[in-house]
Copies of this chain bind each other. A is one copy, B any other.
Amino acid sequence: MAAGTIPFEPMPPLRGLRVGTVMAGIRKADRRDLVVFALGPDATTAAVFTRNAFCAAPVILARAHLQRTRPRALLINTGNANAGTGAAGEAAARACCAALAERLGCAPEAVLPFSTGVIGEPLPVDRLTAALPAAVAALAPDGWADAAWGIMTTDTQPKAVSRAFARDGQTVTVNGIAKGAGMIRPDMATMLAFVAVDAVIDAADLQSALEGAAAGSFNRITVDGDTSTNDACCLIATGDGPRLTPADPAWPAFQAALDEVCRQLAQAIVRDGEGATKFITVAVEQARDAAEARQVADAIAHSPLVKTAFFASDPNWGRILAAVGRAGLSELALERVAIDLDEVGVVRGGGLDPAYRETDGQRVMARTDITIAVRLGRGEAAVRIWTCDLGHDYVRINAEYRT
């Protein structure tokens, strides 16, 4: 069950990139749980990581490796997050990187590790490394769909988005896969996203392209306000294809394709949030600056009272208004605040719109995709974030024992 349609688009092969997925039995048998991306020598890689101070061992290591050399491979496992595992966890991640590096003939620092799954249990290094030969043997340009399955934990569906653009008559493709964040099972950590483009792009340009895309996508979603210890998004330019720089006329098309892939993946994560039945866009406008717009949007998107009301399809505008009121804005003038649910005006002048009819509110709430639009009447800044409702299944799933 998901709130709306999850994209699982055909993923064309990218020049210069191979992907291999196998079953390593990390936590469960008969489940794809190990993915390897193999990059060519000219590939560049950008990444953004969780801001959680307690980041997991693979995040620490991936960050350090990225500083030291050009990545030649990504090594991704599910079933175990290798988080809260201390120095032993880092050693385990290091051992796995070394094992893959040996097999691919690159430096251990050229492997970036990513883990997702149970927190606080030792990474089963032996099972992981034992599966590496098969993973390397499986490497192929058309391995994207398998990888989308291979990185899932509690996601109900794989998530894959692909966009292409032309550059001097040549097609350039941006492929992306992601796994769910937020409404996660006990100890299941992490949003992971892997995006690649078959082009030659300098690492610094690639990093700024990724940061721009992430700011408009992965950093705009919230399911339960909990930031995991393992969140990571990785962007590869395969080094095989046309050369792109920000000065290139095709750069805007690249950034647009990247933005679209990231936004679609981010929204898919929200739609597939555990227990989600509604996909909610929170659009805050007329704020003094972007920070306070986001503050109001977060207050609404994190409010359990708002989220349970949406689960119940209850157009409970009082809860939205109360969330706006507690967002901490100084000198907020009630009489200027307006709230709409989709096309229906609900709050005007800080109180119920006299023209509002409960049947109109009910009609909107019956939809799967709903926009809460808040106008603050105090400036020009705006923000738009995405979240989902809070239902019975969230509690059921997150209260289950770690068994």
Which residues of A273-322 are within 8 A (CB) of B? 302-305, 308-309, 311-312, 314, 316-319, 321-322
User: A55 within 8 Å of B by Cβ?
Assistant: yes
Query: Which residue from chain B places its CB closest to the CB of A318 in the assembled complex?
Result: B119
List B contacts of A187 (CB < 8 A): 316, 318-319
User: A102 within 8 Å of B by Cβ?
Assistant: no
User: A212 within 8 Å of B by Cβ?
Assistant: no
CB distance from A18 to the nearest CB of B (A): 34
State whether A84 and B351 are in contact (beta carbons under 8 Å apart), knowing that A187-B316, A308-B399, A399-B311 are contacts in the complex. yes
CB of A224 within 8 A of CB of B305, answer yes
A25 to B89, CA, bound (A): 63
CB of B391 within 8 A of CB of A394, answer no
A189 to B55, CA, bound (A): 38
CB of B395 within 8 A of CB of A120, answer no
List B contacts of A325 (CB < 8 A): 52-55, 227, 229
Which residues of A323-377 are within 8 A (CB) of B? 323-327, 329, 332, 334, 337, 347, 349-352
List B contacts of A224 (CB < 8 A): 303-305
CB of B228 within 8 A of CB of A395, answer no
Query: Which residue from chain B places its CB closest to the CB of A85 in the assembled complex?
Result: B351
Q: Considering residues A55, A318, A321, A347, which has the most beta carbons from chain B within 10 angstroms of its beta carbon?
A: A318
CB of B54 within 8 A of CB of A120, answer no
CB of B305 within 8 A of CB of A398, answer yes
List B contacts of A84 (CB < 8 A): 317-318, 321, 347, 350-352
User: A28 within 8 Å of B by Cβ?
Assistant: no
Interface size on A, residues (CB 8 A): 62
CB distance from A55 to the nearest CB of B (A): 7
User: A126 within 8 Å of B by Cβ?
Assistant: no
CB of B395 within 8 A of CB of A302, answer no
List B contacts of A324 (CB < 8 A): 53-54
State whether A229 and B322 are in contact (beta carbons under 8 Å apart), knowing that A304-B394, A395-B394 are contacts in the complex. yes
User: A51 within 8 Å of B by Cβ?
Assistant: yes
User: A392 within 8 Å of B by Cβ?
Assistant: yes
User: A216 within 8 Å of B by Cβ?
Assistant: no
CB distance from A205 to the nearest CB of B (A): 29
On A, residues with C-beta under 8 Å from B are 51-55, 83-86, 89, 119-120, 184, 186-187, 189, 224-229, 302-305, 308-309, 311-312, 314, 316-319, 321-327, 329, 332, 334, 337, 347, 349-352, 390-392, 394-396, 398-402
